[in-house]
Amino acid sequence: MQKKAILLLAVIFIGVAVLTQSLFTVDQTQRAIVLQLGKPVSDDSLGPGLHFKLPFVQNVVYVDSRILDYDAKPEEFTTEDKKYMDINSYSKWRIVNPLQFYRTVQNVPAAQARLDDIIRSQLRVELGRYKLIEIVSLKRPEIMEKVTAKSKELLDPYGIEVVDVRIKRTDLPTENQRAIYGRMKAERERQAKQYRSEGREAADKIKAKADKERTILLAEAKRTAEEVRGQGDAKATKIYADSMGQSPEFYDFQRSLTAYRNSLKGGSKFIMTPESPFLKFFQ
């Protein structure tokens, strides 16, 4: 009885092991290829669900059916106008024929290496047909469409579909950056010199205009002052003349007093006779 129980357990264990080796599931994001002695047993891959295979003889290889990303390393490219650019590109791709994919590249790293070779060569060809300014701003969508279409055509024999190729970033090589920065600096210095020169010219014009206005104002002020002074002198002369006309003797006496005051101050000594006309008012 004990031997029968052991035998039953052994049979159950073997049955579970065989069943475990026979059943496998495929996820929604995968496709499966059943291999026997390293060769596919069918011309088609298996979709999502529960599947069977021969235990211990056949094995399963799973292939991702989602859209995958590949971010290429930055590389230097030459444009039509002999300019150098460091371009960082990326691509989106998927496996559309798992059997063909397995027969040609077998795994994702090998597929990415093939992607890198083909996309890089197509970028080199297309970028070499355009000038730097066109690649940066004008023709980039058109270039990417051509690269995507040609890469898709070349990768189709590998069971791979290229969905999209894009340039993630463009940079200039270090030596080009220094040259461009140098030209930018020289241009800014030239503009600064031009602005300073224009500023000095404007300052000179403003100063000359101010000096001219100052000269005109001073001349007008001097002319006005001379006119006022002349009018005052004429008025004073008229007043003196009128005064002299009214009393010539008093005017003569006043002038003599002024002469005495100016001549006899300070201890000055004069020798004059009593009959001198200068002393007539002392007589």
Rg (CA), the chain: 57
Q: CA-CA distance, 124 to 109, in Å (whole number)? A: 22
Regarding pTM above 0.75, the answer is no
Architecture in CATH of 68-172 = 2-Layer Sandwich (3.30)
Residue-wise pLDDT for 2-33, tens only, equals: 666 666 666 666 665 556 667 788 888 888 88
Q: What residues does CATH 3.30.479.30 cover in the chain?
A: 68-172
Three-state DSSP class for 70?
A: strand
Residue 29: name the closest of 53, 3, 55, 48 by CA: 48
Pairing of the two strands 68-71 and 58-64: unpaired
Q: Convert the pLDDT of each residue in 42-78 to its tens digit.
A: 777 788 888 878 777 778 888 888 898 888 888 888 8
